[in-house]
């Protein structure tokens, strides 16, 4: 009689782990990450005690903890949990199980957020291969992997390829989900981002408006995804020279983000950075500098080992200081940005070339023509690799070098 009672107690304890896990999931969706983490960890503790090593439910708990840590921008810790989950799933399941693809995607997401695009792409492609082989045609998981690959290609500047992946993802999602599903808004948003990067502002705005409309319907009490749409629409207004409209959208985004992330978040830094850009363009340099510095402070907290966004903050602060004639300070920030970008983009990138060019501007303003020429030439060499003859960046660098060479 003791054995059935013991089995019954163990079954209840295992059930309690399931309940704890579900509560963690609800708290996670509400953005209450610390509370969610506590519930997930309690569930994991029970599962590790009462299940055999390598059980699928242990992998689920590890995966969920990894997701929360990722939401908290604790990427190295998150990566460890996801890799442990993947190891169990690869051992426990047949080679094409969907949970393996989930772990691969989650690891890819962290690497993407760390700016490690080539590594992320490898994980996303492995996930897509599994989804395409083992999921039915047009399944939502296939769309998710296509979406992720599209994000990487977009970050690498391969906009036409990225657009193809996002459009394929959207097509699946529109067929698979009701018309107002959040994942459809995600695809619309991502297509809008690519069109914006291609300079197709009217088309981009249309996609972002459609995404915003869905998100406001999905999340009537507000959500960070609404802030993302507002920010993206603000960027379009900025590039169209509609600075007051842009400022309004970015400030609305910031207000939402500060509500949902009271202890800080990289998305808040994005809004601060965007507001700084507008104030900079309006010639309000002191105000712009304040916003850029606030953005940098957040990014340094969340990206201690460097990130493309942190490099952008350093570069923008350098630009303001250069406008203000504080050339030594500007050079310090520019050099820090350059060092970070060279590490992040070992094969070269337009941002490195722009960085080199702006260092040249500082030296030229200090009447250090020889050093200025050296940096301008380095910038031109990179522009020549990236752009065809006649491209504005390339043309500008050629003209500056020609002018300085004639003066000397």
Phi, psi dihedral angles at 31 (to 5 degrees)? 80, 10
**Domain harbouring 43, CATH code:** 1.25.40.10
Provide the mean pLDDT of the chain. 93
Q: How far apart are CA 341 and CA 360, in angstroms?
A: 17
Condensed to tens digits (0 to 9), the pLDDT of residues 150-164 reads: 999 999 889 999 999
pLDDT at 221: 87
What proportion of the chain, given as a percentage, has pLDDT over 70? 96
DSSP secondary structure string for all residues of 64-94: HHHHHHHHTT-HHHHHHHHHHHHHHHHHHS-
Condensed to tens digits (0 to 9), the pLDDT of residues 317-348 reads: 999 999 999 999 999 999 999 999 999 888 88
**Does residue 11 surpass a pLDDT of 60?**
no
Is residue 356 one of the residues assigned to a domain? no
Give the pLDDT mean for 385-394: 92
Is residue 34 one of the residues assigned to a domain? yes
**Does residue 6 surpass a pLDDT of 50?**
no
Condensed to tens digits (0 to 9), the pLDDT of residues 271-319 reads: 999 999 999 999 999 999 999 999 999 999 988 888 999 999 999 999 9
Q: How far apart are CA 144 and CA 153, in angstroms?
A: 15
Q: Can you give the pTM of this predicted structure?
A: 0.80
Q: How far apart are CA 26 and CA 23, in angstroms?
A: 5
Is residue 198 one of the residues assigned to a domain? no
Is residue 6 one of the residues assigned to a domain? yes
Q: Are 355 and 341 in contact (CB under 8 A)?
A: yes
Q: How far apart are CA 229 and CA 211, in angstroms?
A: 7
**Does residue 5 surpass a pLDDT of 90?**
no
**Reported confidence tier of residue 264, pLDDT bands at 50, 70, 90:** confident
Domain count, the chain: 1
pLDDT at 9: 47
Is residue 37 one of the residues assigned to a domain? yes
Say how many C-beta atoms besides its own lie within 10 A of residue 252's C-beta: 17
Domain that holds residue 72: 1-92
Query: CA nearest 373: which of 382, 383, 386, 363?
Result: 363
**Does residue 145 surpass a pLDDT of 60?**
yes
Condensed to tens digits (0 to 9), the pLDDT of residues 183-203 reads: 999 999 999 999 999 999 999
């Amino acid at each position: 009689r003791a054995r059935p009672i013991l089995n019954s107690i163990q079954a209840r304890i295992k059930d309690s782990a399931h309940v704890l896990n579900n509560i963690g999931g609800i708290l996670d969706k509400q953005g209450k990450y610390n509370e969610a983490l506590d519930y997930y960890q309690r569930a994991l503790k029970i599962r590790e005690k009462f299940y055999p090593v390598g059980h699928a439910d242990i992998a689920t708990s590890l995966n969920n903890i990894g997701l929360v840590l990722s939401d908290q921008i604790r990427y190295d810790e998150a990566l460890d949990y996801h890799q442990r989950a993947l190891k169990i799933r690869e051992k426990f399941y047949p080679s094409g199980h969907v949970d393996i693809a989930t772990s691969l995607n989650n690891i890819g997401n962290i690497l993407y957020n760390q700016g490690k695009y080539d590594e992320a792409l490898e994980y996303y492609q492995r996930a897509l291969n599994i989804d395409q082989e083992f999921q039915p045609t047009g399944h939502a998981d296939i769309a998710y992997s296509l979406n992720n690959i599209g994000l990487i290609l977009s970050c690498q500047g391969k906009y036409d390829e990225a657009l193809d992946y996002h459009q394929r993802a959207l097509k699946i999602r529109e067929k698979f989900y009701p018309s107002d599903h959040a994942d459809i808004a995600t695809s619309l948003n991502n297509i809008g981002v690519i069109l914006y990067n291609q300079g197709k502002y009217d088309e981009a705005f249309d996609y972002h408006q459609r995404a915003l409309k869905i998100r406001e319907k999905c999340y009537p009490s507000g959500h960070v995804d609404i802030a993302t749409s507002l920010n993206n629409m603000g960027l379009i207004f900025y590039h169209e020279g509609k600075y007051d409209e842009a400022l309004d959208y970015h400030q609305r985004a910031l207000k939402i983000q500060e509500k949902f992330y009271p202890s800080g978040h990289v998305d808040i830094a994005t809004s601060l950075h965007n507001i700084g850009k507008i104030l900079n363009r309006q010639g309000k340099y002191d105000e712009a500098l304040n916003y850029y510095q606030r953005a940098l402070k957040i990014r340094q907290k969340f990206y201690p080992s460097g990130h493309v966004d942190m490099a952008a903050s350093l570069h923008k602060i350098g630009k303001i200081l250069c406008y203000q004639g504080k050339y030594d300070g500007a050079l310090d920030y520019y050099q820090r940005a350059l060092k970070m970008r060279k590490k992040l983009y070992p094969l070269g990138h337009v941002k490195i070339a722009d960085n080199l060019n702006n260092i040249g501007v500082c030296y030229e303003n200090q009447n250090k023509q020889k050093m200025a020429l050296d940096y301008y030439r380095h910038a031109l060499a990179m522009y020549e690799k990236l752009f065809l003859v006649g491209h504005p960046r390339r043309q500008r660098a050629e003209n500056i070098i020609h002018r300085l060479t004639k003066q000397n």
